[in-house]
Structure 1
Amino acid sequence: MINHFSHPHPLVLVEEEIDWISIIYYCSACKERVEGSSYNCSECDFCLHKSCAELPREINHPFHTSHPLILYEKRPNARPRFRSWYCNSCRKKYKKGEELFVYHCSSCIFDLDIKCALLPNLITGDFPKLKHFSHQHSLFFIQNHFIEPQDRSCTACEEPISGPVYCCIDCQFFLHQKCFELPPKIKHPSHRKHSLSLLPNPPPHPERCSCHLCSKAYKGFIYYCTLCEFGIMIKYIFPDHKVIQNMRHEHPFTLAPRPSSSFICDACGTDGRYCIPYVCTECDIAVHKDCTSLPRNILITRHDHPISHIYYFLEEEQVNKRDCRICQNEINAEYGCYHCPGCDYFVHVNCAMDKDIFIQEYEVTDEIQNSNQINLGWLIGEPSITRVLKEKKIGEEVIAIEIEHFNHPCRLILCDDVKDEKSCYGCRRSIATSFYYCAECSYILHKRCAELPRKTRHWAFKGTFTLKPYIEFKCGFCCLHGSGLSYRNDAIDQGYCISCFLIPDTITTQGHKHQVFFDHKFTFTCSICDIGHQKKGAYICRRKECDHFTLDYTRLALPNTAQYKNDEHPLVLTPRDDIHHHSDQCVCDICEESRDPNEWFYYCGICDNSAHFLCVLSNYPFLKLGLTHKYGFHEHPLTFAKQDYFHGYLKCSNCDKYCKEVFLKCTQSRCKYVIDYECRIHIWRSLRL
């Protein structure tokens, strides 16, 4: 029996592990499972390995020669605001309640957990201490260590720490043993003119500062020829980088002996200048190092089926010119790309592997390959129509003429009469096609909106979206506020209106003779959001004669026709004003301000009226007036309403200014609370921050 400084109760020695006890004990000092002899407390679960209980309270350690280190059951908290600490050897972070016993120097705030403090080298006194040309301090050699690979990397090769290492305790400088032992000069087949010298840092260069084998920016140590300004990263010196064998290609790739000035990668079709290729002699191909491990089959956001990698097209397959369906640039038939075997769909390798487009590698089994039915079950979930009550057969097509929908409690009936004065409760656009209506109330849904799936995916995102009803929301594409049904992805906390969500990534639109495609990297200033707000993603045409025609989602979301109270005819959405293009009469007939003749506008050809699209539609054209909702900033429910000229303008209770257009008013007759919708938006933003 002993009394230990770390515990208030006496500890009893248990000489060996008792097999019939099913409880697993862990040592309170090192947190490892107790096996063999241990000291246990008979009053509580406290337990120590015999070796941990017999640790010396004070040691002199070669990692810290200035002062002795004192053993504590937990690190003395010299500064209370710090709730965690690091071992100065392995740099492992310990939070309050999970720390090991620690050897601590209070003078220097130096800590070693007991695993690092009692390495076998310490017991034998064998801690080689050597100098290296790349570092100002001496380095300790540690044969076995407890450094987690993900926590530290080798300064020389940038690879995770594993195996024997040399380290500097003061600077947290680490070198693999193999990197420490690299020769100062080497001969390399990629540069046969001169020897290459080992440098800890790449020399500054005005034009090129990248490895000649992979064209990537230098990292860590390099071998360099000053005369020729030729350099390679040291990882390519090791044998495991000279031959690459993986499951994604049937043969091994071997590093070529020297770079080629005319090298084009057979896998991705891009320039390989300043790179030394990896070659497969069986297939007669040369590729970048990264392309040796290209997945054979992948899923991407832009296509509904898996796509497969090919290295070239056969001669009979080169009949038609093929453009990449992501960037719209031509695909060179002599080099690799990804394609869909069941569709006429081809994309560049680098476009498919873009981090915003690539989803995952996909394993195509022999059964799926032979059936020619590669279908992704996660594309579409349950339908929005919960029950079909009555059907009608027209030719070969069976049409549901009476349904139940998840967003409405009553039955809905199909109708083909166009009702331009009505708007759909799903997308808030006018009724110009077949629709379902409720005989008991004013609820109306486009047939297309009623048939949408409840869960689906979108070509611009990796997750799934759920169709939900909202009193109000802001579309993440067009930035317009609206009511109705919205596809929402909870992972990114963003909703999208139906009209924008259904637009494909490549479209033909009025006002432009060519197809335009969605470029997810294109950045522009949004004309709807706050001034200066930068958005990514727009539809563009890269043809030279089109001068980079650009179209954002806001324009695509606009209705093709609209009504305005001062014109009896429908106004038609027009992409540019060719009539008044060079005239001083290019003004808006509603606000009487000037118009940009190259900007989209609404026009009546009969009355020759033209107007800004926001003047015709108002700032919030897709909000449903009359809807009531309870908000956290007011005690009663509020109803959406619009300013009425005949009944006078109301003042906002929040800013004391007249409400501009749309506002919310309290449903309680005695409460006169009114808030302008723009003030409501500012309050909503402040609550989210």
Structure 2
Amino acid sequence: MEVGNTIKHFLHRHPLKLIEEEEVNHEFVCDGCEKSLSPGEGPIYGCTTADCKFYLDKACAQLPKQIQHCFHPCLLFLELCHFFYCNVCFKFGNGFIYRCERCNFDMHVECAQRPNIKSIKDGEEVIQHFTHGHPLTQMVDEDGKKDLQVGYCGICDQTLICSAAAYGCEDCKFFVHKSCIINISPHINNHLFHPSCHAPLILLNTPFSYRCQGCDDKHATGSLAFGCGKCAFQLDVKCALLPTLDHFFKDIADKIQYAGHKHPLVALHDTVASEVDHRCRVCEEKWSLELELDEDPCFGCKRCHLFLHKSCMMKIPQQINHLFHPSCPLTLLTPPSSYKCAGCDDEHEPVSSLAYSCEKCGFQLDVKCALLPTLEDQSKDANKIQHVAHRHPLLALPHNNKGADNTIVSEVEYRCVVCGEKCPLESCFGCERCQFFIHRSCAIEFTTEAEIDHYSHPLHPLTLSSTAIVESTTNRRCGECLGSIDEFMLVYHCAKCNFNLHVDCAKSKQRLLVKYESHSHHLTFFDKTQAVTRCSICDGGHGAALNCVFRCVACDFNLHFYCHPSTPKTITPKCHLHPLTLAKSPFEFELISPEYQDASDQSDDEFYCDVCEEKRFKHESVYYCKECKFIAETRCVISELLPCLTGSEGYPSGDDRAISADEENSALEASIAKRTTEIAQLRDVEKSLKLKLDKLVAELETLKFKHNGVTSKLDQFETDRVLWNYQLNYNLKRKMGAAEASTSVHVTKSDG
């Protein structure tokens, strides 16, 4: 930004003032290009702060903040760097550079300012091309030696002769065919040999010798390579430009790149195929020498002993969503190490096999398990399937009569995980490793998803799990109905929170939601629960309850029906002539003898509801007619009770005015907006605390390192002191011994 003769440059914190030529009376050094500027060489911009000696010539001051250059696919940003290495001309420098931070790519400003040649016109003698850092000159046959070989094309590696339409750099001995530089791209995105890194591969002259990570060939300094600035991955041009399966159908290529393997796959010929037993890693069939090459050719990587039919490569997908791993997609890769298939548990050797992998989770499936049919894909005669209900292959039983421990499995052991009924052997699928069995009919009708998001457990998804997973947990009850988990049945499970949900309870259903002022969420009405609930308000003061409970499952908040402030204490139901009053149970007249006054030992079999005439839970409060000794469970008079909790249009307000649906929605929108703001604020606080924590951890590690250094030094000093003390005592003893010996000799001589 320029104001008068002053500019604000984005790479300097102070304003820069224009120093006119007549004002330049001594030499300056431009901080952008590092060139010395003598008086009379043009205007200079200098820092207005006296102590800051920062200068830019006019050309550097006017450089654009960002550029797009043919040498690199990403935007390049102007930066000031005191030491860098140019990836175009392979020279070191300092000052202004154009940089791609993402790819770790640096370029001299001078290299960036060379003209970009996008096409080559006939007769053009000198060009600048991204394949080389220096200008390339058109080769001319001046001596009439048109067939003289001058080298090899840096792109196609074919022999290059004088008469060829070519360009070269004599200083670097770099030559390229004209046709090659027209057709080559400066970068490749998402190369099949480089799936783990998302950075593009950039075509550059290498400053050092390198080994191609595709074919393993070694290349000399200055050779072309497609390289990744992030992970030092390099491919020679031949491997980088290999055709894929998508680019040829009828034509047979001798070498291809394939998404499932990190090396080139070469078409097998008779002489090669006869050397070893080649089996396709997809269909497991041996490649036949009698099979015509153009009918279904086989490709292989001899280095990794991986072989694949063309037809098999064409038919298997590169990425799948699988029932055995529903949370992430699986990508076809060659595993770098041996692995155990998560489906069938088979061990596989590294490199020579294929696997559908999730690198994030470390999950791997072999091709056979990954491509298993479902019942929808195949006829009813399929004997091995994948199913949403289980994470291993299911076999049609009986495929044998023996279990995993080689013992005979009886029909009694087979119970369907969906309906709970016994499974006749001839009509079910099973995984004997997990003792998991399912009727064929139940497997077809079972349409539940493998992973769901549920209202009752909003923070984490719930995964369909077998009881073998849940058995290891302490919570063996459904989070909604509080019923026990049947050892044979499927459940939805959250391993992080140890939360379970019956499949039936997880199904979408119409829910009655009731507002309770003392809780921030709506409460779900449960007509009946399978276990006694303890009220979060009265804490058992009104007794326990099985019927008519309001619950916020996510917060584990329970409210007895009769503890809700809007619950009527007296009602006049249609089932009785007199009004009924809310009362604690059991009543004294129900107790059969004095020893049962506390009712703790008296069975529920002896307590009944007079409306439905069915057994009731004895400790639950009921509606009671004292005159007639008439007892009604809350669930039997619920039609008279619910209108007291909900108005005609919506929920009751504190002043007994019914809140309309629009008012309720407006209030919810306001609450969501407020909570969103609070979440953003808390995330900022959490981020700040995390930074402080990381800093403290780093400081702690530094202190530990210093402490270890001091401790080590202390040990060394203690060792020195002990050893020196030992040496001192040793020397003193020797000295004393020598003195005593000398005295003894002297005395002997005196005596003599």
Fold conserved between structures, TM > 0.5? no
TM-score by length of 1: 0.28
Higher RCO structure, 1 or 2 (CA under 8 Å, sep 6+): 1
Structure having the higher strand fraction is 1
TM-score by length of 2: 0.27
Structure having the higher helix fraction is 2
